[in-house]
Chains A and B, each alone.
Chain A
Amino acid sequence: MNDIIIAVLRSGTPLVYVTLAGVIAQRAGIWNLGLEGLMIIGACATILGIVVTGSITLALLIAIFFAVLASILLWFVVEKLKANPIIAGLGLTGLGLGGTALAIQSFFGSQSAVNAPFGLPRLGPAFGVYGVLSILVVLMPVVVFALWFLLCRTRFGLQLSACGEHPFAARSVGLNPSMMRLIALSIGGVPAALGGAELAAGSLQFFGQNMTAGRGFMAFAAVIFGAAHPIGATLAAMFFSVLSAIGIRAQLVFGDRVPHDLIQALPYLATVFGLWLSSRLRGGTNGAVTEIRDN
């Protein structure tokens, strides 16, 4: 049982962090399909940072810097140049995947993988079998709570939701939706980078080309499935991790008799189902898309 919990926490934590980044953006009215790109930038910058500086703190700061920079690029293109957020987000993802692949090849001359001498600090033997978990796993509930408080219990959070749901109304009370989105996307860069860092340095300590393998998009699915609520989306992300742990488990126990690839498709199917259900309940209106295309 313990090993299943550890496996779920290890695969779920990066997903939760990236999901939180998606939640902030979603609340501000930007569908962030660049999550995959932000995550891989975070992962790559962490490992390169460890190798170059030899300090985990500096490496995390470098990762956060690049992820925030990429988020600001997305904001500039979407808000200032009025680009379509979906295409621009997919572009950011491509830029992250391609750019990191280029970076590791130019620094290390091999396209496969870069190993780091050490990773994130672990809990240590005092915690028994759970000692292998990294500190970001323990920090995760704190971050989720902090974000929930920020988004759902402060004036800023409500203003942000207003900008996302009805920018026109938000502007009429003197808010600047564009600026609020800049703040939201910049804040979102931090958990996205941490998610990438946990993926690359939490239990593995290496970076490989395309190592996020669609996790950013699964995080986006969790944002939608969790109705852009910090707690709901976190639960959705953990639920997806449990599903994938079941898939891996089924493969180990039953071998090829169970189509484990199809079990991995369940999160996506669940998202489609959840979205369909919510659109049925809303009575077939399609608010989100038209509201983003404000002015």
Chain B
Amino acid sequence: MIARVTHILRSLIFVIFALILCSLVFQIAGYSASTVLTNVADGAFLRPGALAQSLRWALPLFITAVGVGVSFRAGYFNIGAQGQFYVGSICAAFVAEWLSGAPAFVVIPACLFAGMAGGAFWALWPGYLRIRSGTDEVITTLMGNFMAGLLLVYVTSGPLKDPSGSGQQASSRPLEAAYRISTSSGLSVTIVAIAVAVGLAMWLLVNRTTFGMLASLAGRNPVMVRWQGALLWKLGITSFLLSGALAGLAGTIEFLGPNGRIASGFLPAHGFTAILIALVANFSVAGTAITALFFGGLASAALYLPVMAGLPSAAIDVINASIALFITARSKLLDKVLRIGGHSS
């Protein structure tokens, strides 16, 4: 418990560092940092209706972030959430296209399944290469992100192209209203139910099963886990598959729910934000839920800023990036100060 409190304290200190850095960037770029930050807080949480908007962005982010947490816990640095998110949404879009005309209770589960399978596949090959040949998963998953992005461009301007679309951004045909699981507001019982189900299932998996126990041990000390007689490769592949499937599920939700179509380069910061959420929450499922709400708020503020406050939405990217710079920091001085709490690492 004390260790957890020190971790939260440490995270908070570095978040404050990050806020100072991004204030500096705002000042250098010629904005008043206090104006920007109050407007961000306003757009994210304070204005009426902001919380519903934050929740809309938080739910898919939460699902992806829980998955990222699973692979990070197991010691695999899967930074390919963005690619898995894209491939999941592409597979779902293909299935929706093929099954077009079938009743909704067939199409929606089929899409969700296809999305998860697609995401899982996009995590499977880096996982296989990592475990079989020791090919570094950081680079393969990063390259996978770019390949998936180009695949999305190809799919939306080729096989799934919307012929009536305007030239700027290639996108697929809009999904029929019967197959949508939410309106473009992005909040519906179905989506909330899926997110809650994912949260509960992953919490149980991580905290109450042998797999969760062994996987997080394997992240810290793989040799010991091997001596315990557990199959490391099985733990590894399962972690990769789970994280990919969840990112793919989030992609499918964005496709079936608020977006209703896939477009080239849609939500380009989703994977990166999800990684940040997992890191800030230190991979705990409950922590991820809270952190996702915070970053979901930032994501909704990105839409609010240019319209209501006349500030560029890039301000949100700067805030996220500053948090990324500091969130994994482990200052020795800080360790000394925090060790009063009895936590040593």
A residues adjacent to B (C-beta < 8 A) = 31, 33, 73, 77, 80-84, 86-88, 90-95, 97-99, 101-103, 105-107, 111, 209, 214, 217-218, 220-221, 224, 256, 259, 261-262, 264-265, 268-269, 271-272, 275-276, 279-280, 282, 284-286, 288-289
Given A91-B324, A217-B142, A265-B146: A82 in contact with B317 (beta carbons within 8 A): no
Number of A-B contacts (CB under 8 A): 163
List chain A residues, Cβ under 8 A from B79.
86, 90
Output the nearest chain A residue to B36 by Cβ-Cβ distance: A102
Chain A to chain B contacts (Cβ below 8 Å), 27 pairs: A77-B329, A81-B326, A82-B331, A86-B138, A88-B324, A88-B328, A90-B272, A90-B275, A91-B321, A92-B325, A94-B317, A94-B320, A95-B25, A95-B322, A98-B315, A99-B314, A101-B314, A102-B29, A217-B142, A261-B154, A262-B154, A264-B150, A265-B146, A265-B151, A272-B129, A272-B140, A272-B143
Interface residues of B in 246-301 (CB under 8 A from A): 272, 275, 279
B134 touches A99 (CB 8 A): no
List chain B residues, Cβ under 8 A from A94.
272, 317-318, 320-321, 324
Give Cα A94–Cα B269 distance, bound, in whole angstroms: 10
Interface centre among B30, B133, B315, B330 (most CB of A within 10 A): B133
Mark B101-135 against chain A: 1 for CB-CB distance below 8 A, else 0.
00000000000000000000000000001001111
Give Cα A107–Cα B312 distance, bound, in whole angstroms: 12
Output the nearest chain A residue to B312 by Cβ-Cβ distance: A105
B325 touches A279 (CB 8 A): no
The 3 closest A-B pairs by CB, nearest first: A94-B321, A91-B324, A98-B317
**B327 beta carbon closer than 8 Å to chain A:** yes
List chain B residues, Cβ under 8 A from A105.
312, 314
B133 touches A279 (CB 8 A): yes
Given A81-B331, A262-B150, A271-B143: A285 in contact with B134 (beta carbons within 8 A): yes
The interface size bin for chain B is: 35 or more
**B136 beta carbon closer than 8 Å to chain A:** yes
List chain A residues, Cβ under 8 A from B29.
99, 102-103, 106
List chain B residues, Cβ under 8 A from A214.
146
Give Cα A284–Cα B316 distance, bound, in whole angstroms: 40
Give Cα A284–Cα B233 distance, bound, in whole angstroms: 14
Output the nearest chain B residue to A98 by Cβ-Cβ distance: B317
B315 touches A269 (CB 8 A): no
B325 touches A111 (CB 8 A): no
A261 touches B150 (CB 8 A): yes
**B77 beta carbon closer than 8 Å to chain A:** yes
Give Cα A272–Cα B146 distance, bound, in whole angstroms: 12
Give Cα A272–Cα B139 distance, bound, in whole angstroms: 7
Output the nearest chain A residue to B315 by Cβ-Cβ distance: A102
List chain B residues, Cβ under 8 A from A220.
142
For the residues of B in contact with A, the DSSP-based class is: helix
Output the nearest chain B residue to A276 by Cβ-Cβ distance: B135
Give Cα A88–Cα B275 distance, bound, in whole angstroms: 12
B325 touches A276 (CB 8 A): no
User: Which of A106, A107, A217, A256 lies in contact with B146, CB distance below 8 A?
Assistant: A217
Give Cα A268–Cα B25 distance, bound, in whole angstroms: 32
A97 touches B150 (CB 8 A): no
A87 touches B279 (CB 8 A): yes
B134 touches A87 (CB 8 A): no
Give Cα A217–Cα B141 distance, bound, in whole angstroms: 12
> Nearest-CB distance from B321 to chain A (Å)?
3
A99 touches B133 (CB 8 A): no
Mark B140-178 against chain A: 1 for CB-CB distance below 8 A, else 0.
101110110011011001100000000000000000000
Mark B11-37 against chain A: 1 for CB-CB distance below 8 A, else 0.
000000000010001101111000000
> Nearest-CB distance from A250 to chain B (Å)?
13
Interface centre among A264, A265, A285 (most CB of B within 10 A): A265
**B332 beta carbon closer than 8 Å to chain A:** yes
B142 touches A91 (CB 8 A): no
Interface centre among A33, A90, A271 (most CB of B within 10 A): A90
A77 touches B326 (CB 8 A): yes
User: Which of B138, B325, B332 lies in contact with A77, CB distance below 8 A?
Assistant: B325
Give Cα A286–Cα B129 distance, bound, in whole angstroms: 12
A224 touches B318 (CB 8 A): no
Interface centre among B132, B134, B151, B316 (most CB of A within 10 A): B134
List 18 extra interface pairs beyond A33-B142, A103-B30, A279-B129, CB under 8 A: A82-B332, A83-B326, A86-B77, A87-B275, A87-B327, A91-B322, A95-B21, A98-B321, A99-B28, A102-B26, A102-B29, A102-B312, A102-B318, A261-B153, A262-B154, A269-B147, A282-B134, A284-B133
